[in-house]
Amino acid sequence: MRKSFFPVLLIMALAAPTCLCAQVPESARSWSVPNFTLYGGFSYVFRPYDRNSTNAFSGGMQGWDAAATVPLPLVGNWLDVKGDVSGFYRNDFPDFHPRDYFFLFGPQVQTHLGANTIFADGLVGSSHLNSSAIPDLKSNNTLAVSAGAGIDIGFTRDFAWRLKGDFYNTHYASTNNNVHEIVNSNWRLATGPVLRW
């Protein structure tokens, strides 16, 4: 199921322009393209950090995601610089409360279809995990990278709703011999409102 998720998401993103063009009113197609965006919403990680005798994962984590984009001067409206911050939490065990935070930055490419925007991004930065989440972490901070795609469904020129999926990788390691694996690659989904101007 997890292996087929990204290809399905990619096919949906590629097929969306045809469907959306038919739904965009003629008056909306002449709207000017927004230069800046500010987004905040709900996010879900499919397989979070966990601890037991052999592995370091289980279940899912809920959290939040926030991002802003700024256009690159002299390039055009197809390339932006994006900053993304997110946090994920889990509280289902009395002594196990992982908190994971991401601070990412990088380019976003996009195409505008009237009030709608289809985009893809590749981001790099850091991730911070609280020390109690995995026994004997070598470091609470590590390099993090992500790649994803999504769509901003525009209701007006200044307001849209975002649907996004991405795949990220971190580089946590443990010195505890009982932890044979730390899952450093995972899928995330995010959705929420977007302000554009």
Specify whether the CB–CB gap between 153 and 133 falls below 8 A. Answer: no
Q: How far apart are CA 197 and CA 195, in angstroms?
A: 7
Q: How far apart are CA 48 and CA 17, in angstroms?
A: 33
What domain range includes position 21? 2-27+37-196
Sorted by sequence, the CB contacts under 8 Å of residue 68 that are 6+ apart come out as 36, 37, 38, 39, 82, 83
In eight-state DSSP terms, residue 161 is: E
CA 32 to chain centre: 26
Both tokens of residue 77? 């409206």
- Domain presence at residue 160: yes
Specify whether the CB–CB gap between 98 and 140 falls below 8 A. Answer: no
Q: What pTM was computed for the model? A: 0.77
Give residue 92's pLDDT: 64
Specify the CATH number for the domain of residue 106: 2.40.160.20
Q: How far apart are CA 168 and CA 184, in angstroms?
A: 8
- Domain presence at residue 32: no
End-to-end CA distance of the chain: 38
Q: Each residue's pLDDT tens digit in the chain (197 positions)?
A: 445 555 554 455 445 544 544 454 544 444 677 789 999 999 998 865 555 444 444 457 889 999 999 998 778 889 999 999 999 987 766 666 778 899 999 999 999 888 899 999 999 999 998 866 666 778 889 999 999 999 999 999 899 999 999 999 998 887 877 766 677 888 999 999 999 98
Give residue 20's pLDDT: 46
Give residue 57's pLDDT: 46
Both tokens of residue 61? 């984590």
Specify whether the CB–CB gap between 180 and 39 falls below 8 A. Answer: no
Domains contained in the chain, number: 1
